[in-house]
Structure 1
Amino acid sequence: MSDQTWKTKPPYQKPDEAFNKVLQGACHCGQVKYWLSKDSPLASKYCHCGDCKVIHGAPFQWAAIFQKSDLAFENGAENLRFYNSGSKSLEHELPCKVSCSQCGTLIMDEGRNMVLLFPTLLKFQNQIQKKNFEVQCHMFYPQRVVDLPDGKPKWAGLDGKSELVPES
């Protein structure tokens, strides 16, 4: 990508004086640190799709959705690595996976308007903050590798845009 202006726009800018630092997140090695300006996401979901399982090396992905402007990198933004699973390219091509170039920790999925953060990277100060990230539903549940009988809605595809799947 020849246009590099995205590097100076949310979420890649540093927090300024007007940015309200509410929750901090970091990668495993600590090279990448970021702040959220909100204490709760727009939504929090488990995704059981094949791409999420393979890329995360886990039975599902836990993602919390935020506006890009709700996130600012304290440090490490210049050392991020990008991956577009559709084109399999390492360019900053939206939508893309964003990870630390040193330790490989997946930081977020970046879309055109939103980011999907991974709550396991957040430094919750109390149970109230943690509860704000409680999962609301499961997506792509028929592709699951484990049953999660948690009483949450389970969708065959995207939530609200596919059929509900009965809990096993």
Structure 2
Amino acid sequence: MIKHQGGCHCGQVKFRTDYDPLLVTQCHCQRCRRLSGAMTFYTIFGDDEVLFEGKMGQYNFLGGSGMPMRLFFCQQCSTKLYCTADVFEGFKLVVTGSFDNSSDFEPQAEVFTNNKMSWLRDNGCIQHRFPEAGLYDRLQIMIDNLEKRSA
């Protein structure tokens, strides 16, 4: 059963998943801000939990952690769809705004808060804040959420 779905602006790339995300993260790093024009929201799933269909391009860069990342986007309209990161091997970081029901995914964590724009405010949904990448902490949160899925 498809639980969530989405795609790019022009409709050439579509995706779907039967799962809820392991974590929704708001990233304030300078690299994400430059790539998107603002902070970025990533909805994290296991690599095999989201199925993408359509032609995508790939852009390789170093993430805020300094580790390699790969950004996948529609070759037609250039909509950013998801990233993979060496530090989160085995996971897809799906751009939250590309979901049809993107407002259903409130961020639980924010990272690189040391770069956060001073005028941004939290509506109360953020449970975890990390001045840097918070890699190990985020992995633990994802493991905890995976265990809740199984319960």
Q: TM-score, normalised by structure 2?
A: 0.75
Q: 2:25 aligns with which of 40, 45, 62?
A: 45
Q: Secondary structure at the match of 1:95?
A: strand
1:77-127 CA-to-partner distances (Å, cap 9, x unmatched) read: xx20001113xxxxxxx6300000110000000233000011211122xxx
* Residue 155 (structure 1) shift: 1.4
1:32-65 CA-to-partner distances (Å, cap 9, x unmatched) read: 0011121x2100110000110001122x001110
Between Structure 1 and Structure 2, the one with more strand by share is: 2
Q: Is the 8 A contact 1:139 1:155 kept in 2?
A: yes
Within the alignment, does 1:148 sit opposite 2:120 as a pair?
Answer: yes
Gaps of 5+ in 1: 1-19, 87-93, 163-168
* Residue 146 (structure 1) shift: 4.0
Gaps of 5+ in 2: 63-67, 138-151
Within the alignment, does 1:113 sit opposite 2:85 as a pair?
Answer: no
* Residue 158 (structure 1) shift: 1.9
Q: Secondary structure at the match of 2:32?
A: helix
Q: Is the 8 A contact 1:23 1:37 kept in 2?
A: yes
Number of aligned positions between the proteins? 127
RMSD (Å) for aligned C-alpha atoms: 2.2
Q: TM-score, normalised by structure 1?
A: 0.68
| Bigger Cα Rg | 1
Distance 1:69 1:26 in 2: 17
Between Structure 1 and Structure 2, the one with more helix by share is: 2
